[in-house]
Amino acid sequence: MPIFQRGPDADTPTADVSDTPEGTRSTWVSVAVNLALSTLQFAIGIFSHSQGLIADGLHSLTDLVSDAIVLVAGPQARKAADEGHPYGHHRFETAATLALGLLMLGVGLGMAGTAVVRLENPESIPEVHGVALVVAVVSLLAKEGLFRYMLSIAQRLRSTLLVANAWHARSDAASSLVVGIGIVGNLAGYPLLDPVAALIVGGMVAHMGFKFGWGALQDLMDRGADADEVAAILATLAATPGVRGVHDLRTRRLGDLLAVDAHLEVDGRLTVEVAHAITVDARARVMAGHPVLSVMTHLDPVG
């Protein structure tokens, strides 16, 4: 049962966050933006008595934590395979994504709970100062620009962790929009809209945290590739000269890559040397055309 694993000289590069300095640079840009915004949002939120803006600042602060997770997870995920981790450390990135999801879920639920308490005591809701609206608009524009920048790099690097981090920035942009609407409502004489905005922001953060956390948990439980990717790998194996059929194809995720197991049917009259050459060819085709870390094959003689 030959096992083939991608090495440093494989046909195609791995989908690693650190294959290029772009991933690290984009994360440091996010750190700078989130640090500046969270400081500004907290300061002006307290000064202007806007619970929504303070909640938005807390959301930006969670982005700083997620940036730190990315900076730590990237180098760990690209560590070479060793005796204790023969498939490498790719799932470190998946575990970091799970941690990010749990963080967002906890922060979102906390924000929503605080807003509910404020809504239960509407007489204690103060009028918001107009400067809060200016900060909310600035935050919206900054976070939307950061999202587009980070997502373009994440998609080019095919990193689920960077994609999660980029969408966290987009959720901040959406929350800034909601907060801005709440502040406008408060200034127009509807004070309840500010804590309502904080409640909505908390729900958005919690929902996205659950989404990322659940997806990462499924990957840690050996979730396979989607049906389209499985069909594509099957077609690549079946098209290999000498392969008469493929069955029992299985996949499981290792970070952003896949581990593949398959039974290859070959002519039973072939020599071991020729049959082995067919498996080597099949492996090379899969590794070159798909995001695959390792290919394990079992030969079944037919005919």
Encode pLDDT of 41-93 as tens digits. Answer: 989 988 988 888 888 888 787 777 777 777 777 677 777 777 887 777 778 87
The residue written with tokens 């879920």 in the block is: 105
Torsion angles phi and psi, residue 291, rounded to 5:
-75, 75
Give the separation between CA 37 and CA 256, rounded to whole angstroms: 31
- Other beta carbons within 10 Å of 294: 21
What pLDDT does residue 30 have?
Answer: 82
Dist. CA 69–CA 73, nearest whole Å: 6
Residues 279 and 264 sit within 8 Å (Cβ to Cβ) = yes
Q: Where in the chain is the domain with CATH 1.20.1510.10?
A: 16-220
pLDDT for position 200: 87
- Measured CA to CA, the distance from residue 142 to residue 60 in angstroms comes to 11
Query: From CA 55, how far away is CA 42, in angstroms rounded?
Result: 8
Strands 257-267, 245-254: parallel, antiparallel or unpaired by DSSP?
A: antiparallel
pLDDT lower than 70: segments of the chain: 1-20, 74, 160-161, 168
Q: Tell me, what's the pLDDT at 161?
A: 66
DSSP for 124-173?
GPPPPPTHHHHHHHHHHHHHHHHHHHHHHHHHHHT-HHHHHHHHHHHHHH
Residues 297, 301: Cα–Cα separation, whole Å: 13
* Fold adopted by 16-220: Alpha-lytic protease prodomain-like (1.20.1510)
Q: What is the largest CA-CA distance in the chain?
A: 87
Please tell me the predicted confidence (pLDDT) of residue 237.
Answer: 95
pLDDT score at 285: 95
Residue 196 three-state SS: helix
Q: 71 CB contacts (<8 Å, ≥6 apart)?
A: 24, 27, 28
pLDDT of residue 138: 92
Q: Exposure pattern of 210-235 as b/e (b: 16+ CB <10 Å)?
A: bebbebbbebeeeebbeeeebeebbe
DSSP calls for 28-55: HHHHHHHHHHHHHHHHHHHHHT-HHHHH
* 269, two tokens: 């009259």
Q: What's the pLDDT at 20?
A: 56
CATH architecture of the domain 227-302 equals 2-Layer Sandwich (3.30)
CA 159, CA 3: separation in Å to the nearest integer?
25
Question: In the chain, which segments carry CATH 3.30.70.1350?
Answer: 227-302
